[in-house]
Amino acid sequence: MFYTHLRSFSEVCKYMFAPIRFCENFHQTLCVRVPFQWRRHWLLLVFLSSFFSRAPQVSVAFDVAYDRLLHQDIELENSISEIWDQKVQDNKSLYNGTKFRYGGHNLLCGDGSNQDSHVCLHLGLTDYRTFMGTNLNPQWEKFLVPSEDDSIRCQHTSSPLGNGAIVETSDRKLIVLQRSTNVGEFPGHYVFPGGHPEPQEIGITSHQYGKDLTGSELINKKVSQEMFDSIIREVVEEIGVPASTLCNTVFIGISRRELNVRPTAFFSIKCSLESKEIQQLYLSAQDGYESTQLYAVSLSELENMTSKMPGCHQGGFALYKLMVESLKNT
């Protein structure tokens, strides 16, 4: 059995199946026992409760200190290149793109008056090649370090930070996609629209490229803004809605699936269109080939679909339900 601290709103036990870390002054907490089998698929790393804050909800500390550390096992390290070389041989179109690496976070607690609580994400750089060779390595568990500190436990993995959006339509439906059978990860599974924040979008290709700005307020603000800009792009590209129809983008937290320890930042987004309109726009979506069908479902209907979601998206749904409950109590 495991223990975790959860916010004390009604029926919270029904929603929580994994440990969460909170700022102590967010709200009163209670201790709940969580069976191991319930936390097998995902882990919630961050849940943000200040949904109506005027201050930025999330900041970023971008630094080489949050890059992946090499593993001392030389053979294990060599397997990264071996896996990538084989993948490229099988698929010549593979591209080794740069991604932001999730290296942990700090929950910065406000004083309850002038300063709001928010999360500071620790981000470094990684790439698709290293992701394939660590997180997606058949021996991925060998890269892990025994530690209760998640950033230490995953210090040898690529851990690119993904993103996902729980999009609510004007007729109160939630958007879910069914992945194509041709995609590399979780073919045929249900997912929320999403992808990754992209370093290249803000001119970052390496730490050397931005060495004069690394750790500065300017680069950190740009990376933080990319967290929000990227999820809007992903929603537009994957479901076909105009960006002008999306509003109230709220960062709600980070979920990490236990399989391959992959982290994903989740956002809640409102769409001014009805679900029927979105269904039509989806037919001509730019990245529609990544999925085979779009569903517009109620909260209860989505509950029944989560068993066929990747672990990180199951965690994203748990974050959304926490947010909904939190807003009921404000």
Burial grade of 252 (CB within 10 A; 0-12, 13-18, 19 or more): buried
- The pLDDT of residue 49 is 56
Length of the chain: 330
- Mapping DSSP to helix (H, G, I), strand (E, B) and coil, where does residue 109 land? coil
Rounded CA-CA distance 268/144 in Å is: 31
Q: Kindly report which listed range (44-58, 102-116, 193-207, 277-291) carries the lowest average pLDDT score.
A: 44-58
CA angle 158, 138, 91 (to 5 degrees): 80
Q: Of 242, 274, 328, nearest to 15 (Cα)?
A: 328
Checking if the pLDDT of 11 tops 90, the result is: no
Per residue in 97-116, pLDDT (tens digit) is 999 999 999 987 665 555 56
- The pLDDT of residue 112 is 54
Per residue in 133-173, pLDDT (tens digit) is 999 999 999 999 999 999 999 999 999 999 999 999 999 99
205 vs 110, residue with greater confidence: 205
Q: How far is CA 236 from CA 99, 230, 233, 239, in A?
A: 20, 10, 5, 6
Q: For residues 266, 302, 7 and 34, what is the CA-based torsion angle, rounded to 10 degrees?
A: -100
Structure tokens at 273: 């269109």
Checking if the pLDDT of 26 tops 60, the result is: no
- The pLDDT of residue 193 is 97
Q: Kindly report which listed range (59-63, 177-181, 187-191, 212-216) carries the lowest average pLDDT score.
A: 212-216
Tally Cβ neighbours within 10 Å of residue 111: 9
- Mapping DSSP to helix (H, G, I), strand (E, B) and coil, where does residue 255 land? strand
Band of pLDDT at residue 205, cut at 50, 70 and 90: confident
Burial grade of 280 (CB within 10 A; 0-12, 13-18, 19 or more): exposed
Q: Is the separation of the CB atoms in 223 and 123 below 8 Å?
A: yes
Q: How far is CA 289 from CA 214, 238, 246, in A?
A: 37, 9, 22
Band of pLDDT at residue 315, cut at 50, 70 and 90: very high
- Mapping DSSP to helix (H, G, I), strand (E, B) and coil, where does residue 305 land? coil
DSSP 122-180: EEEEEEHHHHHHTTTSTTGGGG----SSHHHHTTTS--B-EEEEEEE-TTS-EEEEEE-
Q: Are strands 29-34 and 2-7 parallel, antiparallel or unpaired?
A: antiparallel
- Mapping DSSP to helix (H, G, I), strand (E, B) and coil, where does residue 308 land? helix
Rounded CA-CA distance 305/163 in Å is: 19
Q: Is the separation of the CB atoms in 38 and 17 below 8 Å?
A: yes
